[in-house]
Structure 1
Amino acid sequence: MSEYFLANQNPVIYTAIILLILFIFRNVLKRSANRIGNKGDLHVTRIRLMFKYINILVTIIAIFALALTWGYDTSQLAVIFSSVFAIIGVAMFAIWSMLSNITAGIILFFSFPYKIGSKIRIHDKEMPVEAVIEDIRAFHLHLRTMEGELITYPNNLILQKAVSLIEREYHPDEGKDAL
């Protein structure tokens, strides 16, 4: 074991430094997302979804940095990463709407002015919707109409349509006398 460490002393030290830096970077990003989520009074599931995205980003950076540290040539890494991204690109082209919904979900996390419990109106010519936001997911919103109908509305469409806020937090039993 000591022979291995002596033969690879620099890469082992660099690996420890890279992992420490990425650990700190990940924690800073998670704290920032948590702070933004708490400041915007966002639901905890939306904050956890951002944590998953942050973990994926840090993992990709870690793989690339550690491969460079352990002596992989940049041209080899370029071929590997371009091949992987080409395959992912072809796969994503086949499912581009899912990718656009995930991207829209990230945008909604940081800039959507409505929260779970808000009563909204979506101005759409073909299908105007007036409902309460029950949940905001990675791909879609769960909206509950006044008739009790559950609508799943794609995140990418909510960014393309005009949306009006009717009530900040809607409570269907408000104003009823207690029995």
Structure 2
Amino acid sequence: MIELLLSNVLLKQFGLGLLLIVAFLVFKRVGRKWIETLAQNKRVNLKRTQFVIKSFNAASFLLFVAIFTIVLDLGFGDISLFLSSIFAVLGVALFAQWSILSNLTASVLIFFVFPYRIGDKVKVSDKDDDISGVIIDITMFHVILRHASGNIITYPNNLILQKGVTKIVAEEPVKAADVLSEGS
């Protein structure tokens, strides 16, 4: 009798585990397609798209492992202790490289929510410098602008999220005849 109950429980856990793995694979595939479609619509370069897909895969895998251990009752306390130790070491290691980490995080945010695309002419509100030009690329660490003077400006991703950005809309050129007729 006990063996029958034990085999039923193991069979249910095996089926549930298999269902979770299939759900994870489907979720990963749908997420990848969605990110690729979004990248095409926003004209994002391939390296940045691959970075966002890798970040999505890593986050979804960690979420899957957490759900898997909770649902299958695999001793979450031991696993959480192990994971918290790893995150503590990573946190200390990454603290020294905080600006790099913030730029990578900002890159993911820019991928999803930045309203401007490559080819748009923008001006970053910076009181000290003239940060304006056409966006020629958005990388993992910088937004690259071509200034009207021809100079290339690389502006960090984390700062572009902190500053106001204005899209400069091209105005129709004013004809000399229109200006003269208004003056008379």
TM-score range, shorter chain: 0.7 to 0.9
The one of 32, 38, 43 equivalent to 1:36 is: 38
Q: CA deviation at 1:12?
A: 5.3
Structure showing greater Rg: 2
For residues 64 and 93 of structure 1, the distance between their equivalents in structure 2, rounded to whole angstroms, comes to: 25
For residues 22 and 144 of structure 1, the distance between their equivalents in structure 2, rounded to whole angstroms, comes to: 42
Q: CA deviation at 1:13?
A: 4.5
For residues 124 and 44 of structure 1, the distance between their equivalents in structure 2, rounded to whole angstroms, comes to: 27
Structure 1 equivalent of residue 75 of structure 2:
73
Structure 2 equivalent of residue 129 of structure 1:
131
Structure 2 equivalent of residue 113 of structure 1:
115
| TM-score of the aligned structures, taking structure 2 as reference length | 0.73
Taking the TM superposition and a 5 Å limit, the aligned residue runs for 1:70-109 are: 72-109=74-111
Helix, strand or coil for the counterpart of 1:148? coil
How large is the Cα RMSD of the aligned pairs?
2.6
CA deviations over 1:70-97 (Å, ceiling 9, x no partner): 8741111111011011111112222221
For residues 113 and 66 of structure 2, the distance between their equivalents in structure 1, rounded to whole angstroms, comes to: 31
Helix, strand or coil for the counterpart of 2:153? strand
Q: Gaps spanning 5+ residues in structure 2: where?
A: 1-6, 171-184
For residues 131 and 86 of structure 1, the distance between their equivalents in structure 2, rounded to whole angstroms, comes to: 41
Deviates more, 1:13-22 or 1:59-68: 59-68
State the aligned residue count: 161
Structure 2 equivalent of residue 155 of structure 1:
157
For residues 54 and 80 of structure 2, the distance between their equivalents in structure 1, rounded to whole angstroms, comes to: 26
Structure 1 equivalent of residue 174 of structure 2:
none
Percent of aligned positions with the same letter in both sequences?
A: 33
Q: CA deviation at 1:164?
A: 1.6
For residues 95 and 161 of structure 1, the distance between their equivalents in structure 2, rounded to whole angstroms, comes to: 22
| TM-score of the aligned structures, taking structure 1 as reference length | 0.75
For residues 34 and 127 of structure 1, the distance between their equivalents in structure 2, rounded to whole angstroms, comes to: 35
Q: CA deviation at 1:23?
A: 0.6
For residues 67 and 114 of structure 2, the distance between their equivalents in structure 1, rounded to whole angstroms, comes to: 34
For residues 127 and 15 of structure 1, the distance between their equivalents in structure 2, rounded to whole angstroms, comes to: 56
